Structure 1
Amino acid sequence: MKRYGTLLGLHGKPKDRVLIIRKGAKQTRVGFSTDNGQTWDLDGELVEAETVLDDGGVLWEKYQRSPDAATWLTFGKQPNGYLSVHRVHKHVIKARLYEGGGRWSEITDFPPDQVLFDAGKAWPKEKTDKLAPTAATQEPKPLTTSTHHTGQRVSYIRVSTAEQNLARQREAIGSVDREFQDKISARSRAERQGLEDCINYLRAGDQLVVGSIDRLARSLSDLQTLIDQICSKGASIHFVKEHLDFSAESRDPRASLMLGILGSFAEFERSIIRERQAEGIALAKNQGKYKGRKKALTSEQIEQARARIEEGQSKTSIAKELGVGRATLYRALGQQ
């Protein structure tokens, strides 16, 4: 039976629902899902054991229903008020305090150790707010989007090679409500399922945070298409490295200009790299040193594959056993 939990982020804020693969005293291996729990990464990642709450993912579900709600605690860790969290920083949490009667305070700084991210469940509904003696006891009304940002902070991270580290991008991005990732060197957007899931997940008011432009797109045209698609949903996008922000409500012309310049330089750099590679290959051929790319399959493997196909085995199963894609197997069979 699968065992689920809640992964906690900065100051104990719920970060994601995870699959608990192996729980240890200091570290726990957890798996992540990018398609709302349909499939899970069974290889997983190691995280600090104290950041995993073994609760079946209950806290994450509560947080999803009320992502801004939290409980204000006294120094003695007793419930002291109902909060609507605005921003979470390393040393302070900015939030509004419910004053009763449907009224909220201005955004105030709260010490992180006095904020419990429990969707406000620890604050009794029937208890009168200590900061407002005449406060009503009804459940607080949610803040309107005109006065409070209710969207989620969502991140997208991608690594192109086995040597690159997800942790570096996560550190640059900071605390988020939901994370999507791709761990492959995808040449086309169709191969990046994490990105597609991320865009489908975004809602109006959400902010997508990406470590840098090259983590999101491989070309300027692709980048512009993605930005337009995200903004059309009412969400915004922030690139950490380049300090660029884009949204449907306010498209900064300076950011658009910088985007075009960066994209042009990126295209120029890639063309130079391709040209140098071609020159290097040509020189190696002239010197008799270039032998081309190593074949994925040996002649013996290809002959064995052809024999198995004649016996009735599927090409898909054979390619999987050989550790290559179907297209690679098809090409190899066609070349002999």
Structure 2
Amino acid sequence: MRIGYARVSSAGQKLDVQLGRLADCDRIFHEKASGATAKDRSELQKALDFVRDEDVFVVTKLDRLARSVIDLAGIVQRLQGKNVDLVVLDQGIDTTTLYGRVQFNILAAIGEFERELIKERSMEGREKALARGVKFGAKPKLTKKETIDLIRDFEAPGCSKTEIAEHYGISRSSVYRLYAENREKSV
């Protein structure tokens, strides 16, 4: 029996091409989930549980299966333990042959190397942006003037913190946090 597995990383991506390539499989498992770790993908786990002796597990590309050598090795070991072969269509990998196993290991190592390079470049870009003064995270909900007004309202007798929060469209805990962070600045 041929068991297919397809995965895309985000909701905006489509599975159509992969599903088309896996059309000759007897059963296809598919999901929209990050490939960072194999353990967090429920459909992959179901597919690995489903396969039986002498089945063939089919994916279109190796990176659809996993992104790290450790995850790939674990998946292949699990498949081998069940006497299940792995076929990766786009890379021509077939673990029933010695050449296919060697090719699998080389491509897995390259895939992990590529992922580490992407992480490294992303971190460098983030550090450069921080050095240029780029601020990450959510934009402040209140302007400087609104923050000064909030502090004035906070200190006014008889003004409830819940009313202040509702007036500025923020939570009560944000009222207290903003007051604590900015009270010296407004004096």
Tell me the TM-score normalised to structure 2 length. Answer: 0.69
**Does the aligned pair in 2 maintain the 1:173–1:240 contact within 8 Å?**
no
Higher relative contact order (CA 8 A, sep 6+): 2
1:229-240 to 2 correspondences below 5 Å? 229-240=78-89
Taking only aligned residues, the RMSD between alpha carbons, in angstroms, comes to 2.3
Give, as a single letter, the amino acid of the residue that structure 1 aligns with 2:33. Answer: I
Structure 1 counterpart of 2:117: 272
1:159 matched to which residue of 2?
8
1:258 pairs with 2:103: yes
Corresponding residue for 1:300? 170
Unaligned runs of 5+ in 2: 140-168, 175-187
Q: Which residue of structure 2 aligns with residue 172 of structure 1?
A: 21
In the alignment, is residue 221 of structure 1 matched against residue 65 of structure 2? no
Question: What amino acid maps onto 2:128 in structure 1?
Answer: L
1:13 corresponds to which residue?
A: none
More strand by share: 1
Structure number with higher helix proportion: 2
Amino acid at match of 1:233: K
Q: Decide which of 30, 47, 50 is 1:198's aligned counterpart.
A: 47
CA distance in 2, matches of 1:189, 1:267: 14
Contact 1:159 1:184 in 2 (8 A): yes
State the AA in 2 paired with 1:294: A
Equivalence for 2:128: 283
User: For each residue in 1:170-211, what CA deviation from the matched residue of structure 2 results, as whole angstroms up to 9, or x when unmatched?
Assistant: 112232211111212254323211011111111112111111
CA deviation string 1:34-53 (max 9, x = no partner): xxxxxxxxxxxxxxxxxxxx
Structure 1 pair 193–286 and aligned structure 2 pair: CA distance change class (3 A): same
Corresponding residue pairs, total: 146
The AA in structure 1 aligned to 2:13 is: Q
Q: Distance in 1 between matches of 2:25 and 2:171?
A: 47
Misfit runs of 4+, over 6 Å: none
Mapped to 2, the partners of 1:284 and 1:243 lie a distance apart of 41
Rounded Cα–Cα distance in structure 1 between residues aligned with 2:171 and 2:121: 34
Tell me the SS of whatever aligns to 1:208.
Answer: strand
Q: What is the DSSP-based 3-state SS (H/G/I as helix, E as strand, rest coil) of the residue aligned with 2:83? A: coil
